[in-house]
Amino acid sequence: MFALLASGLWKPVAIALLIAAVLGYRALLLHQRDTARAEAAHLSASLADAEASNAALQSAIATQNSAVAQLRTQLEQGAQAAAARARAATANGAALMRTAAVGARALEGARIDTGCAAAISWGNAQAAELSRW
């Protein structure tokens, strides 16, 4: 009897199983779609964060590059100023050396009479020149 009943109901049971399979497959597809959409939204947000971070990093790099360029310019200006000061000090030192050499030659050839009074009188006469040393 069961076999007779089953042989007459196999078509409705097959259709019911087919409908259940289609509904199950649809539910699986909807779940996968929703999961994919959520993941796409999450990845889009992550991408936006990464792009904002990249833009901030590019801005920081530009600021640092500008600061390095400014420091390099200041360094070059400082080196040029130091070189100019060194040249001026060298020229000034050379002029002082020439003046001192002239004064030394004048002292080498100066005649000082013997005796204490003569040395004092010569020192008083040369006081202006000797005080510059």
Q: Cα–Cα distance between 129 and 54 in angstroms, integer?
A: 73
Q: Is the pLDDT of residue 133 over 70?
A: no
Domain containing 97: what range? Answer: 7-131
The CA-based angle 84-87-93, given to 5 degrees, is 140
| Structural domain count, the chain | 1
Asked, for residue 18, whether it belongs to a domain, the answer is yes
Asked, for residue 119, whether it belongs to a domain, the answer is yes
Q: Cα–Cα distance between 49 and 8 in angstroms, integer?
A: 63
Q: How confident is the model at residue 112 (pLDDT cuts 50, 70, 90)?
A: low
The pTM for the full model equals 0.49
Determine contact, residues 112/119, Cβ cutoff 8 Å.
yes
Asked, for residue 1, whether it belongs to a domain, the answer is no
* pLDDT for 49: 95
Asked, for residue 22, whether it belongs to a domain, the answer is yes
Q: Pull the structure tokens for residue 98.
A: 């020439």
Tell which wins on pLDDT, 128 or 18.
18
* pLDDT for 121: 82
